[in-house]
Amino acid sequence: EVEEYKNFRPDDPARKTKALLQMVQQFGVDFEKCIEGSGDQVDTSNLSGGAKINRIFHERFPFELVKMEFDEKELRKEISYAIKNIHGVRTGLFTPDLAFEAIVKKQIIKLKEPCLKCIDLVIQELINTVRQSTNKLDSYPRLREETERIVTTHIRERDSKTKDQVLLLIDIELSYINTNHEDFIGFANAQQRTAANATKKRVMPNQVIRRGWLTINISIMKGG
């Protein structure tokens, strides 16, 4: 602390203001370094800050998605009921798009819970990082308390807005199911694949039938 304040003059009336601004700025720098992973001291025993957030995105979130198990037999049953209910008294020749959309939308809705849980985990890690970054303010407990309160309140406000944006994105996906996507076979893609396979069968590329030795009998060629 002596090293930090050695340039301050005792008779400087703005000393307190300068010290306050310096400590708040240092808190911001420490918080950013902890998130970006460019801190002066690297912890070799535990993950912290940005590393934990990265782990949430790339390990925990996929794990939550994998946990969404579904019964294949039950899913086939739902598909069958959806198709029959849409056809009504008629017997259809093709699977209606509405039945497909009903099943797909039901699966997309299941993404909401893992996404919101991922946001909660990231928010909690950000708050932990804030508390870790205010350790240098221990000599000023009121300043530390107020700094944590202001930053945590801001993070909580971003929390609700982030969840709103994620839910909006899922609602956008629910509003329109692109059945013409290349991942779906559909009638058009099935017709293209059939035509491509037929063309491939008709075109016979140059192939080597057999590899071996060729022997020429000169006497036979001369008529002997």
Task: List the chain domain ranges.
Answer: 1-68+112-175, 69-109
The per-residue pLDDT for 215 is 57
Q: Is 98 exposed, middle or buried (0-12, 13-18, 19+ CB in 10 A)?
A: middle
Taking residues 20-36, report their average pLDDT: 86
The sign of the torsion formed by the CA atoms of 193, 194, 200, 203 equals negative
- List, for residues 113-171, the tens digit of each pLDDT value: 999 999 999 999 999 999 888 888 888 889 889 999 999 999 999 999 999 999 999 99
**Host H or E run for residue 169:** helix 141-175
Taking residues 160-183, report their average pLDDT: 88
pTM check: above 0.75: no
Taking residues 68-80, report their average pLDDT: 77
The per-residue pLDDT for 167 is 96
Confidence of residue 220 (pLDDT cuts 50, 70, 90): low
| First and final C-alpha spacing in the chain | 113
The per-residue pLDDT for 189 is 56
The per-residue pLDDT for 190 is 54
Q: What is the DSSP string of 112-166?
A: HHHHHHHHHHHHHHHHHHHHHHTGGGTT-HHHHHHHHHHHHHHHHHHHHHHHHHH
CATH number of 1-68+112-175: 1.20.120.1240
Residue with tokens 């000169």: 218
The percent of the chain in helix, strand and coil, each rounded to the nearest 5, is 65, 0, 35
The per-residue pLDDT for 23 is 86
Backbone angles phi, psi at 129, to 5 degrees: -65, -35
* Exposure string for 168-189, b = 16+ CB within 10 A, e = fewer: eebeeeeeebeeeeeeeeeeee
Considering only residues 75 and 156, tell me which one the structure prediction assigns the higher pLDDT: 156
Tell me the two tokens of residue 117. 């849980």
- Is the pLDDT reported for residue 210 higher than 60? no
The per-residue pLDDT for 19 is 76
The per-residue pLDDT for 188 is 55
The per-residue pLDDT for 113 is 93
Residue 124 amino acid letter? Q
Taking residues 50-75, report their average pLDDT: 85
Q: Would you mind telling me the total number of residues written for the chain in this entry?
A: 224
**Residue 56 near residue 128 (C-beta atoms within 8 A):** no
The per-residue pLDDT for 99 is 77
